[in-house]
Amino acid sequence: MGTPHDKFFKAVFSGVEHARGELASTLPGALVQGIDWSTLALVSGEHSDGSESLESDLLFSAQLGEEPVLLYVLFEHQSTVDRAMPFRLLRYMARIWERHAGDAAAQRLPVIIPLVLYHGEHQWRAATQFRDLLNMPAALREVVTPFVPDFTFVLEDLSRLDDEALRKRALTDLARIALVVMQRCRGSNDPAAILRPWAETLLRVLSAPNGRDALRLVAIYTAEVSDAEPDLVYGFFAELGPEAEEIFMTTADRLREQGREQGREQGREQGREQGREQGNVEGVARTVTRLLTLKFGELPGGVMARLQSASAEELERWTDRVLTARSLDEVLER
């Protein structure tokens, strides 16, 4: 199962209309000019690890001039910078190419443009170029370079994205808000203060097609990743107007009921586990009682009482002693 961050990222940016603006705002200008954005499509069934999709990646296809290009987006949300990121990307890209190499109709491999969307706690300060991971003597770099793979990935570091830059981007309202909450709401004690300047954008999200579901998605993610009480988060979203209030009062009630049901199920499972453990202890107690009776004859009432109230550890210790003990006292001594 993915994290709330992975699920939210995919829920928003698997929508081509939301991904298009983010990609066009992040990729180099010459590349943006060369891509036919009307051909942008989410690639189905094409995954970075060869068989199962990563929770944190998306793969798009588009036309770059006359040739197809693949835009591979990896969402990186861990709190520490991954210094091996170029190597990770190379592995994922190689697996995508492996799938294409297996297509008899494919004469050449597609270009893959890797992009990392990073929203860790600290600014990214690691390599973005594969060659920087290699141990190449400086004096021989020019000689060695033709023989080693190399590429650079595009880095979208949300820690460096301020309100002014974000408002200038040609993004859908949902994509803009998604970047805000992913960048700033994780661990926040007051996400309402972060989102209040974006109230007009949130209202436009609500009024867009499927806006109720989109706004609910943003609110639930915010509640999951912030340190504020969920009811306070939903209370802020309810301030956006009667329609939003209806959405989030219903959502809060449903989530509270889900929490109660999860608690009841956990209680039932704990009860079943305790019952299984108690049944195992009782079974071991009956076995020890039988062994002691066979060896020493009818057991005194005090011994029977000790057997019935014994812990699993005591019963295990007594079982080990039955074969060698010469008396009940030797078996039951503490």
Q: Which of 54, 56, 64, 53 is nearest to 27 (CA)?
A: 64
Task: Express each pLDDT in 23-51 by its tens digit.
Answer: 999 999 999 999 999 999 999 654 544 44
Q: Going edge to edge, which strands form the sheet with 111-118?
A: 35-42, 57-64, 67-76, 111-118, 154-157
* Residue numbers in the chain where pLDDT is lower than 70: 1-2, 44-55, 104-106, 250-281, 283, 322-323, 334
How many C-beta neighbours within 10 Å does residue 231 have?
13
Q: What is the pLDDT of residues 161-197, one digit of tens each?
A: 889 999 999 999 999 999 999 999 999 999 999 999 9
Go through the chain and tell me how many residues it has. Answer: 334
How do the domains of the chain map onto residue ranges?
1-132+144-160, 256-332
pTM tops 0.75 = no
DSSP 68: E
CA angle 255–259–263, rounded 5-degree value: 170
Distances (CA, A) of 78 to 14, 63, 71, 83, 186: 20, 32, 22, 12, 11
Query: What does the pLDDT read at residue 151?
Result: 93
